[in-house]
Structure 1
Amino acid sequence: MNALTVLISCPDQVGLVTDITQVLAAHQLNIIAMREFVDEANKSFFTRIACTGNLDDADELKEKLLEKLPTTAEVNLITQQEKQITVLVTKEYHCLAEILIKNQFKTLGANVKCVIGNYEALRDFTEKLGIPFFYVDHADKDKNSFEGEIKAIINQFDVDYLVLAKFMRILSADFVEEYAGKIINIHHSFLPAFIGANPYRQAFERGVKIIGATAHFVTDNLDEGPIITQHTTHVDHNFGVKEMVRAGKEIEKKVLLEALELIFEDRVFVSGNKTVVFK
């Protein structure tokens, strides 16, 4: 028996669940888990279905599903669970370390193909764990050249996602468009608060009592892409900027790894500038 994950998004209409399950049953697929959500405001339907069975012809199954669904429906059939990723970094190690340790012990749910850094700081750590590290210098170089070198490295590998694990460079609209829906970022703030650089200093100066972190898909609007997951922690007057940074790093690791787990298990739909997440 093989595992199959069926992802469907389409305009909502009466009878969708019946139509979908009848097609799956006709192909001798056993549903072991099914989650669905209707966005009433936009009249949109989303479902994630985990099945088992011997699927002889995925194209035929997709065609039969599309015949039953509204014309603008999107159907994705997933048989390969382990995703392939490239990680982009600058100097901070805490998020990269979490990813590479889980990768080392095969608990990440993905395979890290390489790490790309705009500083050499994390090369030694990365290579000790057997992962190729590529250095792309951003100094004395225009953005097109810098991003061109990065793209040349990425395109050597067949990757599903790019993970910005504290990669402190703003990507161009062209770069983001080329990898649309495939770039995940961890932002050291509970968005939409404190967008951009130095959010912990911004939080300290504002005197907030809660700080947080946000994992989101990258769009060409800085730190405004669809949010995947967020967490917060309480702080008080005893916290200076350094203490906030220290506390924030713990949240960043947790939030990024949670978001990656959801994505690697195909539990996230993007709907406009929002996400539907089946946990």
Structure 2
Amino acid sequence: MVNNFVQDQLQAYREKNEDRGRLIIKCPDQPGIVATVTAFLKEYGANIVELSQYSMNPDGGTFFTRIEFDCPGLKVKSGDMEKEFQEISETFSMQWTFNYVSDLKRTAIFVSKEPHCLLELLWEWQSGNLLADIAIVISNHEDTREIVESMNIPFHYIPANKEIRKEVEAQQLKLLKDYKIDLIVLARYMQILTPEFVAAHPNRIINIHHSFLPAFIGARPYERAYARGVKLIGATSHYVTNDLDEGPIIEQDIERVDHRDSAEEMKKIGRSAERRVLAHAVKWHLEDRVLVHENKTVVF
């Protein structure tokens, strides 16, 4: 079975990376941050395998860093490490998280009728390039049920429209809680989420919008692009906020079109960009490479 094969791959990945962690930090920029943090990791016998950092305006701006490290016995040491690091974080006014690579993020995918973005994520997952625990697929249409269930992934059909949105979201929120979901991916889920739903999952809902934002926000972007006579179309993956299609952007890409392409042909061309842009954004989130600052992102 497909799911058994994937689960075996994921289990092997967990075992291989049981001593690997990631420390994500955002704080006011000041001298001594990297020296202090790396010295702390050294005290616990950790070896840094990747360190990325960025200062947004070094003269009094914000500092971001992502440190990936190997630490023998990490699971045993993690509680003490987090407790001791609290003192360092207070000194530098840090927002911080320790994430453990073997703890794969439990992911829910929302989809409507069009399957191309969902399929891309499932293909990447099957091939071992998308390191997530895909726990559930939720849809307001039945079209993708057979595809999803063929991979032994639970599929939940919940009809949705704006008249029953609150009732639908109550069912969805219960499923997300029951399945202990860490990340929600809107893979062409063509419904607007309520502020309450969004507020319950800050920076944990990733959407794909089928235009190169900020151009053509909202519905029917390909038709509007065709009417405008554009020569480039694109796709944008972003975190969902209460402002439609205006959340922090994670990834974007484009495809070239010309006067011979109809709106329908533009849709076909644009699907390639949609698939890869969403897959990149989800992969980077799963690897803790995306740090949000106000309405922007730093992607390491």
Which of 203-212 and 60-69 deviates more?
60-69
Q: Within 5 A, what are the aligned runs for 1:114-193?
A: 114-139=136-161, 141-193=163-215
**Inter-partner Cα distance in structure 2 for 1:64 and 1:111:** 30
- What secondary structure does 1:32 align onto? strand
Q: Could you report, residue by residue, the CA deviation over 1:91-115 in whole angstroms, capped at 9, with x for unpaired residues?
A: 0000011112232343321121111
Contact kept, 8 Å, 1:104 with 1:129, in 2: the verdict is no
**Inter-partner Cα distance in structure 1 for 2:138 and 2:31:** 48
Pair 1:67-2:84 in alignment: no
- What secondary structure does 2:21 align onto? strand
**Inter-partner Cα distance in structure 2 for 1:64 and 1:177:** 31
Which of 139-148 and 176-185 deviates more?
139-148
Q: 2:292 aligns with which of 256, 270, 277?
A: 270
Q: 1:103 aligns with which of 119, 125, 128?
A: 125
Question: What residue number does 1:26 align with?
Answer: 43
Question: What residue number does 2:236 align with?
Answer: 214
**Inter-partner Cα distance in structure 2 for 1:59 and 1:139:** 45
C-alpha displacement at 1:141, in angstroms? 4.8
Percentage identity across aligned positions? 39
C-alpha displacement at 1:72, in angstroms? 3.1
C-alpha displacement at 1:50, in angstroms? 1.2
Over the aligned positions, Cα root-mean-square deviation in angstroms equals: 1.6
Q: Could you report, residue by residue, the CA deviation over 1:89-148 in whole angstroms, capped at 9, with x for unpaired residues?
A: 110000011112232343321121111001111111111121111011125952211111
Contact kept, 8 Å, 1:9 with 1:46, in 2: the verdict is yes
Q: How many residues align?
A: 278
Q: 1:35 aligns with which of 52, 57, 66?
A: 52
Question: What residue number does 1:239 align with?
Answer: 261
Q: Structure 2 counterpart of 1:62, which letter? A: E
Contact kept, 8 Å, 1:66 with 1:75, in 2: the verdict is no
**Inter-partner Cα distance in structure 2 for 1:165 and 1:246:** 16
Pair 1:45-2:63 in alignment: yes
**Inter-partner Cα distance in structure 1 for 2:80 and 2:133:** 30
TM-aligned CA distance change 1:128 to 1:254, over 3 Å: same
- What secondary structure does 1:244 align onto? helix
Structure 1 stretches (4+) deviating beyond 6 angstroms? none
TM-score (norm 1): 0.95
C-alpha displacement at 1:15, in angstroms? 1.1
C-alpha displacement at 1:57, in angstroms? 2.5
**Inter-partner Cα distance in structure 1 for 2:98 and 2:88:** 16
Q: 1:77 aligns with which of 98, 102, 121?
A: 98
- What secondary structure does 2:143 align onto? coil
- What secondary structure does 2:30 align onto? coil
Which of 11-20 and 40-49 deviates more?
40-49
- What secondary structure does 2:50 align onto? strand
- What secondary structure does 2:178 align onto? coil
Q: Structure 2 counterpart of 1:245, which letter? A: K
